[in-house]
Amino acid sequence: MNKIRPSAKDALAGIADGMTLAVGGFGLCGIPEHLIAALRDSGVKDLTVVSNNAGVDDFGLGLLLQTRQIRKMVSSYVGENKTFERQFLDGSLEVELVPQGTLAERIRAGGAGIPAFFTPTGVGTRVAEGKETRIIDGREYVLERGIRADFALIKAWKADPNGNLVFRKTARNFNPMMATCARVTIAEVEEIVPLGALDPDAIHTPGIYVKRLVHGVAYQKRIEQRTTRPA
């Protein structure tokens, strides 16, 4: 099976209105920026997007918010995006805020075939409203459901033609678990190497999880907040 697609547009074939997408990245690190741009150009809408954060106004998932292609965001941190803020406040964007560790575990659980789990995080807060709770060993826990997606869009550093992936540093935070939770996983990678070039012990995501690959070039390496001190 040839997993390498000639362009981001080709790699996104099959994504339709109303689908749920898991989109990797931590801040602006490790986001599949070319796939996101191609998704914007495709015009698909009414998307539910599961992502740790929502990019910034003019980059990453912020591009899809600008064009109002996202109906609902499931995220843990959204503080860098004024477009997100405006749409949330005017009621045009549905938002499910999830504690970051819980979000990571919900994605991991979905990929592992675990439908739900109990966690103490969020007990007694708005996070637990409307959810089942249970006392276990004298402590209260809230039931959280695993997350499954129609497609996952992730970003890796290196891949071989079989889809075995290696992530680099912070990009390893959410991308590997998102690769497991979707029906179809599309990986955007900086470098595609020949079969056998990757040390098997260094592979973070086995190719069995990856259906499509696209080679990305000219990455921007943006920084969300640049903090400096006077010279």
**pLDDT, tens digit, 9 for 90 and up, residues 1-38:** 789 999 999 999 999 999 999 999 998 899 999 999 99
Q: Is the pLDDT of residue 107 over 80?
A: yes
**Residue 217's pLDDT is what?**
86
Tokens of residue 151, six digits: 């497609």
Strand duo 70-75 + 182-192: pairing: unpaired
Q: Is the pLDDT of residue 226 over 80?
A: no
> With bands split at pLDDT 50, 70 and 90, how would you rate the model's confidence at 116?
very high
**Residue 180's pLDDT is what?**
98
**Residue 221's pLDDT is what?**
76
Question: Which residues, 6 or more positions from 221, have their beta carbon under 8 angstroms from its beta carbon?
Answer: none
Domain segments of the chain as ranges: 8-117+146-215
**Residue 96's pLDDT is what?**
95
Distance CA 143, CA 194 (A): 44
CATH superfamily of domain region 8-117+146-215: Glutaconate Coenzyme A-transferase (3.40.1080.10)
> With bands split at pLDDT 50, 70 and 90, how would you rate the model's confidence at 185?
very high
Partners of 48 in the β-ladder: 20, 72
Distance CA 142, CA 31 (A): 30
Q: Is the pLDDT of residue 174 over 80?
A: yes
Distance CA 143, CA 174 (A): 21
Strand duo 116-119 + 139-145: pairing: antiparallel
pTM for the predicted model, two decimal places: 0.93
